[in-house]
Amino acid sequence: MTAVRIPPTLRGEVGGERQVEAEGATVRELLDDLAAKYPALGAQVLENGGVAPFVNVYLGGEDVRTLDGLETAVAPGQTLILLPAMAGGSC
Amino acid sequence: MLKTADNLLSLVGNTPLVELRRLSPKSSVRLYAKLEGQNPTGSIKDRVAKSMIEAAEASGGLEPGRRLLEPTSGNTGISLALVAKLKGYPLTCVMPENATEERIRVLRLYGADIVFSPADEGSNGAVRMALELAAQDPELFMPFQYGNVANPRAHYEGTGAEIAEALDRVDILVAGLGTGGTLMGTGERLRESFPDVVVAAAEPLPGDPVMGLRSLADGYVPPILDVAKLDRKVLVSNAESVAGLHALLDLEGVFGGVSAGAVVHVARRLADELDDGVVVCVLADAGWKYLSADFWDSPKLDKAGIEASMERTVWW
């Protein structure tokens, strides 16, 4: 099982939890498993078979878009983090 | 080297590049820091502000004396305030109401007006409010660093060119991700000289209170940022940024801002993946504007304490 951190914006979709668990060998499998368990979350995070534009998905602290995207392999002990895309401020 | 400068704006850029031998995780990897805190107002944003205003003047889009409006959590506003003062434009900045006190005071001292946006909306809220204000009042001119190509161009022609000139090898570039201007412009210029350079972003992991509770549709990706042009994009927690800041100060005597700490954290991690090579960190500002923060006392605070003390503010 992989721990998945849920941002405040999406906690309503998972019963208020800050962190849930999902199973899968790749990021795609993790997100599919999440969507099966929490359909309302899946509807927000996934769009046309990919990650929705204003959602960032991180594995091991790195954006999966700069890894192998949804096909990025998940290693034991890694955490998946979902975040809304935020405008950086000053630097 | 000029012996005198005709005014402060001609001193923007050409910042020093210093080697950080003690911070490098291995002697075969050379780590360099571009000290952007040495720009006239103390941050890399002097380059951006000067570039955006001069581009608008050159294109005829900005008439003399017209009021400027910009969403900013601090540094860009301070840089625009200097440029605006010297060139004779009034300035209004939109910033989250939880910005650090130093930034608010400095902006006011430079003569800028401030409009506050809700703290819990973070920078997204400042962007949204500035866009609304500009739509209501056509007299306002918004440089808009998030969407202005003069922002990355300042780094292509300045930051990146200066690094390419100074070094004969760059394997990894690390800079903080905010608007994306530094990474896009510097990265593009360095790829011309060093085609295999890895362009790496250090990205803040925001605290829950500044993420707000609104829908994902309120998310924002700056128009000038093309994530496909980043080779790495690494999240950095506030505690990791603070650890980076202390390492910079303790080992090298460099007093950096919060994003500088994050950049150093990522640079050391990526440097460790190299057998040998050159890593360049762009340190966007110095620590002065963060002195009122509690995290400097972090030997007394554990990781959770640092996170708790920082989670209510947007740090970069």
Closest to A88 (Cβ–Cβ): which among B177, B211, B228? B177
Residues from chain A contacting residue B208 (CB–CB below 8 Å): 7-8
Closest to B176 (Cβ–Cβ): which among A7, A53, A91? A91
- What sign does the dihedral B36-B39-B43-B48 (CA atoms) show? negative
Say what the pLDDT of residue B29 is: 98
Largest CA distance in chain B: 57
Say what the pLDDT of residue B145 is: 93
Say what the pLDDT of residue B210 is: 64
Say what the pLDDT of residue B298 is: 58
Residues from chain A contacting residue B180 (CB–CB below 8 Å): 88
Closest to B146 (Cβ–Cβ): which among A55, A63, A87? A87
A63 contacts B227? CB cut-off 8 A: yes
B217 contacts A89? CB cut-off 8 A: no
Nearest CA in chain A to B48: A91
pLDDT band, very low/low/confident/very high, at A89 (cuts 50, 70, 90): very low
Can you name the residues that pair with B33 across neighbouring β-strands? B18, B281
Give the number of A-B residue pairs with CB atoms closer than 8 Å.
123
Q: What stretches of B26-134 adopt beta strand conformation (E)?
A: 29-35, 68-71, 91-96, 113-117
| Number of Cβ within a 10 Å radius of residue A62 | 21
Q: Which residues of B are catalytic?
A: 45, 259
Say what the pLDDT of residue B22 is: 97
Least Cα distance to A19 among A85, A86, A84, A82 occurs for A82
What does chain A look like in DSSP terms, one character per residue?
A: -EEEE--GGGGGGGTT-SEEEE--SBHHHHHHHHHHH-HHHHHHHEETTEE-TTEEEEETTEEGGGTTGGGPBPPTT-EEEEEE-------
Q: Which residue has the higher pLDDT, B302 or B280?
A: B280
Can you name the residues that pair with A45 across neighbouring β-strands? none
The CB-side HSE value for B225 (13 A sphere, CA atoms) comes to 20
pLDDT band, very low/low/confident/very high, at B306 (cuts 50, 70, 90): confident
Q: Identify the contact set of chain A against chain B, taking CB-CB distances under 8 A.
A: 7-10, 44, 52-55, 58, 61-63, 65-66, 81, 83-91
Q: Which residue has the higher pLDDT, B70 or B209?
A: B70
Closest to B233 (Cβ–Cβ): which among A62, A81, A90? A62
Nearest CA in chain A to B258: A91
What confidence tens digit (pLDDT) does each residue in B241-290 have? 999 999 999 999 999 999 999 999 999 999 999 999 999 999 999 998 88
| ipTM of the complex in this document | 0.91
B235 contacts A63? CB cut-off 8 A: yes
